[in-house]
Structure 1
């Protein structure tokens, strides 16, 4: 018996279109609007099956609780990634470790009780057990399977930089250097943030500079500069 392509963890554009029963052009429009989770690998769009399933499950969105979330939903294209990243929550020089160690380091800056920290880490690991959130191009985007289960409202992004790189089961089988931990209780906002991060994934020069950043001010400045220029370079 022929194995269904939907049993694969990673789907192509045509496969995800068939899976969702829509035209490929519809998927491409959704990508352009940042409405569907995806990543570019070797100039081709790829879709992680567990992330697509998460997205389908979470279509009943939680109403955001603050103005930034509302702005991201209403005018997502106007809210830059830099506005979601606080300088003091950019972690440079992270040592390479296991998935659990990397995730624990990422949530360390959050003001969580010991019990909530363990719970948050457990939920992040449960998501990783389904399929790695390392989308290739040196980047991982850890997040909960269901944004509405976040114990922190957000929205915000914690950036972790591991200069030596670590094995995070990336879809391109290469080391992961940059970790963007997404914190939001809204699926719409979650997808908007993924859209921002996917732009960075397409800029190899920016990625190299971020990996070499030695402090939060430098890293945030690099992101700000790329947003101001509006250019993302693939070379």
Structure 2
């Protein structure tokens, strides 16, 4: 599947995915004027509908991950990673050995995602694994959650559709690598399935994972970790 342009995807998006300028500013926690200037410069993916700027949320998520990798010092984005006012818990507290799949076999997207959500179903955190799988696949059809360097961060389109009060990350490792439609066309080896019903926490988890995984030594350490506990300790 080739990544489509954001303007081509707008017709597939529902109203919860199409954001206005004020909504994007709140989502990114930066000033509206800053977003407007970025849109005019083409520095943020956007499309003009009439005289109004519109933004596609999944595209903004992927764009933000790229910005995190390239410019971690930018003040507006850095605050999303470690904000003492909101007190996001350390990633280590969101990881558990029961939610680590250390030996994912290569397969289709559906097979990979089905294996990743299996621990959630087994621990009674998801009532309907099939329905949740369909939501994950729908998100992938809109725009792949695979990044460069063999990493993917699967998640459903609307965090509020996750189980209430649940925040967890399911970690999957595919030593052989598998095709997940990465932008660099390289096989994906590490998967971090984000499950949270909070949009702000969702965004900040994306940011924090991006910051950690931008270090190639960390990525290689995860790939070389001997077991589930070692994977968690590395992250």
TM-score by length of 1: 0.66
What is the distance in 2 between the residues matched to 1:91 and 1:73? 33
Q: Of the candidates 5, 11, 17, which is equivalent to residue 44 of structure 2?
A: 17
Give the match for residue 169 of structure 2.
157
Cα distance 1:183–1:44, how it changes in 2: closer, same or farther (>3 A)?
Answer: same
Give the drift of 1:16. 4.3
Give the drift of 1:200. 2.4
Give the match for residue 65 of structure 1.
none
Which runs of no fewer than 5 residues in structure 2 stay unpaired?
10-37, 49-59, 72-82
Give the match for residue 143 of structure 1.
155
Give the match for residue 171 of structure 1.
183
Does the CA contact (< 8 Å) of 1:93 and 1:162 recur in 2? yes
Give the match for residue 104 of structure 1.
114
Which runs of no fewer than 5 residues in structure 1 stay unpaired?
22-34, 46-70, 224-235
Cα distance 1:101–1:153, how it changes in 2: closer, same or farther (>3 A)?
Answer: farther
Does the CA contact (< 8 Å) of 1:73 and 1:188 recur in 2? no
Give the match for residue 25 of structure 1.
none
Give the match for residue 7 of structure 1.
7
Corresponding residue pairs, total: 176
Cα RMSD for the two superposed structures? 3.0
Give the drift of 1:173. 1.3
TM-score by length of 2: 0.66
Q: Of the candidates 139, 149, 153, which is equivalent to residue 127 of structure 1?
A: 139
Which range moved further: 182-191 or 207-216? 207-216
Give the drift of 1:126. 0.5
Query: C-alpha offsets along residues 167-215 of structure 1, whole Å, 9 cap, x if unaligned?
Result: 0001221111110000001100100110111012211011011112231
For CA contacts below 8 A with separation 6 or more, give which structure has more relative contact order: 1
Cα distance 1:94–1:183, how it changes in 2: closer, same or farther (>3 A)?
Answer: same
1:195 and 2:207 equivalent?
A: yes
Query: C-alpha offsets along residues 108-145 of structure 1, whole Å, 9 cap, x if unaligned?
Result: 11134997010000000000010100021211000010
Give the match for residue 39 of structure 1.
65
